[in-house]
Structure 1
Amino acid sequence: MRGITKEFPGVRALSDVDLTVTSGETHAICGENGAGKSTLMKVLSGVYPHGSYRGEIYFDGKRCEFKDIRSSERCGIAVIHQELALVPYLSIAENLFLGNEIGRFGVIDWGRTLVRARELLDRVGLDESPQTRVADIGVGKQQLVEIAKALAKDVRLLILDEPTAALNDSDSRHLLDLIADLRRHGLTSILISHKLNEVLEIADSVTTLRDGATIDTVRVDTGLTEDDIVRGMVGRDLTQRFPPRQTREIGPVAFSVANWTVLHPIDQHRKVVDDVSLNVRAGEIVGIAGLMGAGRTELAMSVFGRSYGRYVCGRVSKGERDIDTSSVPAAIGNGIAYVTEDRKQLGLNLMDSISTSITLPSLPKISRRSVIDFRAETRVGERFCESMSIKASSVTTVAGKLSGGNQQKVVLSKWLFTDPDVLILDEPTRGIDVGAKYEIYQIIDELAARGKAVIVISSELPELLGLCDRIYTLGQGRLTGEVDRARADQETLMRLMMKGR
């Protein structure tokens, strides 16, 4: 790709970007959120057609002018986006060949379809029936289905956008091993990832983007380090991944959950949260660690307005007073806020503007006699864009057009505007870069310094160890341990997380 320039109204997303990928290599692209990584891949894969950008694309020495995704697929280019493009209620086999069906005279040949599907699933190491519904398998397996779907199209260049962002350690390991195996068989890959340890493990070369421009391309075998990549991404040395801890006074218990039990929404013989009790003090950051399926998100969602599963028993208290959290408005009214794990599906309406998104849970604050004051809404949006460093041309920018890190800041702003006493953060830095992570860590620390009770749920143990004063561990819906900051390390946490498995 030579001299790629892509502009949106009021924003230049890419500015004269160059990218060269050698046949048979795994090439990583790193950069902060909003650096232009996904935009560059959308140009390459035809999502943004020729004519909507400036610059040239060459594939196997031939100049290409892709007018849509199909034209890039015909050349052997396939992209797996961060948001998986699978139909949950169709089978794996149906998803693998959707739009590319195997048949004659307009009739699908299901025999050949299932045989070919089985071959593809074996190639990616997925031991599932091709007739299994996609909705009935986990996110890690869905990611493998996406790769099998790409292989069904005789892919020669595979683009993976944050493929391990939503995966646990074992699923991530399996996926990285698969990418390495595909490379051994001659497949070229482009990997976008914020997990720099994975980049250095799997990639042959790394291209760094910053503010829509190419900074450099470096071979990993030249001794490239995570600090080198970070320096290129943010334009400075990031000597600390976590902000210095502010001096803060830990007060009395501000929030507690006692004997909380919740059943699975469909299989009501299975407890997803089983007799869990925990507490958070004012000014304290408490972490919740657990493997995939341990019940972390289920606990948070069921406490916040009973948004998940069937409530069986338990009580929620602020200080010494029990409070009602039986609905989302009741939970918000009692000073609880919940930043969801999935910002795109549950955290934001992607068609709303930044200002509308921020004020949505607190409409009475910007209304007079039940009529919204749009000037007040704009002022609130501008205040949070400035204080949270949200990068956008204006507060009227649609949330869906923001980068992942800026979307996450909008979600945080939305709940901070409610002025909560208790803030539950579920995977607050998933899929965002190290620079944006640092900013969010600062916000979390400042909230605790103001006396808020903060709960952080994270799959990244270093994140919990760097942020939290205490950490609870969950396993199969049950509380398996509690460790304070002085005694916490990754080995201890992992041992407690594995209890009962």
Structure 2
Amino acid sequence: MGPVNDVLVRLEGVTKSFLGVPVLRGIDLELRAGEVHALVGENGAGKSTLLKVLAGAHRPDAGRILVGDREVSFAAPRDAQAAGIAIIHQEFNLLPHRTVAENVYLGREPVRRGQVDRRAMTAGTQRLLEWMGEDGIEPDAEVARLPVARRQVVEIVKALSADAKVLAMDEPTAALAGSEVDRLCDLVRRLRERGIAILYVSHRLREVFELSQRITVLKDGAFVSCSPTEDLSPGELVRQMVGRPLGTLYPARDSDPGEVRLALRGAGNGRLRDLSFDVRAGEIVGLAGLQGSGRSAVARAIWGVEPFTSGVVELDGEPTTITGPRSAVRNGIGYVTEDRQGDGLALRQSVRDNALLVRRAALRGAAARRDSDLGSLLESVAVVARGPDQEVRYLSGGNQQKVVLGKWLAVSPRILIVDEPTRGIDVGAKQTVYRLLRKLAADGLAILMIASELPELLGMSDRILVLHNGAIAGELPAGTSEEAVMGLATGHGLGEV
């Protein structure tokens, strides 16, 4: 790998425009052996475009890329790979029904006597897994059977098998929770100790400060700063990212709980056991738990996708049977799923069609057709777009999430379930979503909020229900500690509140 701190890749004055619109404006960046270099900025700052330039997917209009002391020009991603640069995207590039070893050596299979040498592939994959300190993955395992965190490891092994010396990781923990995040962070540290240069792109500032040695900030396609991590505070970093002091990230709680809107009484199904809790008008109830604890299963059960098979669901004090999503909507329940692009949006349709999607699908008559209030609806959730006819796929992640929220407000729900409402969006957009949720609660909406980031859950919730193995391990008040939540989530009791 070469000595630690050797500059492996340098970008100098990199500029890129699309249709005459500047996206990158003279960006400088150095990636050093044995260093985690964080790249941060709001959505639209230019991070994704810079990664694509580094990966050979886009050619810069100006500036240059140096690998070591040699200037290079990447005509395609394979050129970047040949230069030792690999990108680990949010969306994995794996064949799910092939083995780990087959994916690792895809397109580069070793051949012996005219046939693919599967023994060599297995042995090579095993060596890399051991080198990385990963002993929980079998080279012969089918990728489709691996959890998301292990698939990410396979992507990294695949890159290292092609002799990658530089890894760019794009939001690597966006789809992970709890212990999976900790495992990935440990892996990043091990890779750094082995001399790999890592460009770490993330909206999760806690990880940025825990893992990185330097941080580069982009804003509106321009270079803002590059600083040693130890010289920055979270507040100063946020100010550089958004161009202004952000103030308190989480809005103040200014509403008192009202009548019970949603109540579960001994509810359960194949995954959930004896759930009993209330959600009142005007409050945000947080739902915490480790991966696999049943958090999202609760949302799907209330929504009628995986219905409860025992117990009682009450809406406004009346026992109610939810038979499916259409039934949930007609009973005043909205559901913002954790996968906004896969489940929440029709990406190739307009902002207008997405915002009115639920209204048109679930309601009847003139109410379904009405779109005269579309402008005020989009304004209420602060969507920034060229207009209502713009395809939603061209919006930033934060604005896409606002459209998802808007489509539920279009049907005036009484209860709103939000699952990972700020996943993959920047800190400025997060604050907008937080303020919107708090305003909705103040207006009388009952909100059940699922989130993996404990600071988010603690900052937004009026009280927190903690799940463990499909059951409620306990309830904690606002202002509780992360230790108390984790104590319940891991089955070790209440912990210190």
TM-score, normalised relative to structure 1? 0.90
**d(CA) in 2 for partners of 1:209, 1:366:** 44
Residues 1:389 and 2:382 are matched in the alignment: yes
Q: How do residues 104-119 of structure 1 correspond to structure 2 at under 5 angstroms?
A: 104=112, 107-119=115-127
Report the counterpart of residue 170 of structure 2 in structure 1: 161
Q: How do residues 205-284 of structure 1 correspond to structure 2 at under 5 angstroms?
A: 205-221=214-230, 223-246=231-254, 248-263=255-270, 272-284=271-283
CA change 1:316–1:5 in 2 (3 A) is farther
**d(CA) in 2 for partners of 1:57, 1:154:** 19
The one-letter code matched in structure 1 to 2:447 is V
Tell me how many residue pairs correspond in the alignment. Answer: 482
Question: After the TM superposition, which of the residue ranges 90-99 and 142-151 deviates more from structure 2?
Answer: 90-99
Give 1:118 shift: 1.3
2:57, 2:76 within 8 Å by CA — same for their partners in 1? yes
1:126, 1:141 within 8 Å by CA — same for their partners in 2? no
**d(CA) in 2 for partners of 1:143, 1:30:** 21
Question: After the TM superposition, which of the residue ranges 324-333 and 389-398 deviates more from structure 2?
Answer: 389-398
Report the counterpart of residue 4 of structure 1 in structure 2: 14
Give 1:179 shift: 1.8
Question: After the TM superposition, which of the residue ranges 137-146 and 150-159 deviates more from structure 2?
Answer: 137-146
Aligned mate of 2:424, from 404, 425, 431: 431
Report the counterpart of residue 318 of structure 1 in structure 2: 315
**d(CA) in 1 for partners of 2:29, 2:188:** 20
**d(CA) in 1 for partners of 2:362, 2:471:** 39
Report the counterpart of residue 451 of structure 1 in structure 2: 444
**d(CA) in 2 for partners of 1:369, 1:175:** 51
1:126, 1:144 within 8 Å by CA — same for their partners in 2? no
Aligned mate of 1:204, from 168, 190, 213: 213
1:260, 1:314 within 8 Å by CA — same for their partners in 2? yes
**d(CA) in 2 for partners of 1:371, 1:427:** 28
Secondary structure of 1:16's counterpart equals strand
Report the counterpart of residue 496 of structure 1 in structure 2: 488
CA change 1:338–1:61 in 2 (3 A) is same
**d(CA) in 2 for partners of 1:32, 1:16:** 18
2:27, 2:223 within 8 Å by CA — same for their partners in 1? yes
CA change 1:347–1:364 in 2 (3 A) is closer
2:38, 2:215 within 8 Å by CA — same for their partners in 1? yes
- What stretches of structure 1 move > 6 A for 4+ residues in a row? 364-373
Secondary structure of 1:217's counterpart equals strand
Report the counterpart of residue 268 of structure 1 in structure 2: none
Give 1:329 shift: 0.7
Report the counterpart of residue 402 of structure 1 in structure 2: 395
Question: After the TM superposition, which of the residue ranges 81-90 and 10-19 deviates more from structure 2?
Answer: 10-19
Deviations 1:293-334 (A, max 9, x none): 1000011112112x24x7422332211112332111111111
Unaligned segments of structure 2, at least 5 residues: 1-10
1:324, 1:334 within 8 Å by CA — same for their partners in 2? no
**d(CA) in 2 for partners of 1:67, 1:187:** 24
Aligned mate of 1:361, from 354, 358, 362: 358
**d(CA) in 1 for partners of 2:477, 2:456:** 15
Give 1:129 shift: 1.5
Two-structure CA RMSD over aligned residues (Å): 2.4
Residues 1:77 and 2:85 are matched in the alignment: yes
The one-letter code matched in structure 2 to 1:318 is L
Report the counterpart of residue 143 of structure 2 in structure 1: 134
Secondary structure of 1:175's counterpart equals helix
Question: After the TM superposition, which of the residue ranges 274-283 and 63-72 deviates more from structure 2?
Answer: 63-72
Report the counterpart of residue 435 of structure 2 in structure 1: 442
Residues 1:25 and 2:35 are matched in the alignment: yes
CA change 1:8–1:104 in 2 (3 A) is farther
Aligned mate of 2:339, from 334, 337, 342: 342
Report the counterpart of residue 91 of structure 1 in structure 2: 99
**d(CA) in 2 for partners of 1:55, 1:106:** 45
Aligned mate of 1:190, from 199, 202, 206: 199
CA change 1:369–1:107 in 2 (3 A) is farther
Give 1:372 shift: 6.2
2:352, 2:389 within 8 Å by CA — same for their partners in 1? yes
Give 1:498 shift: 1.8
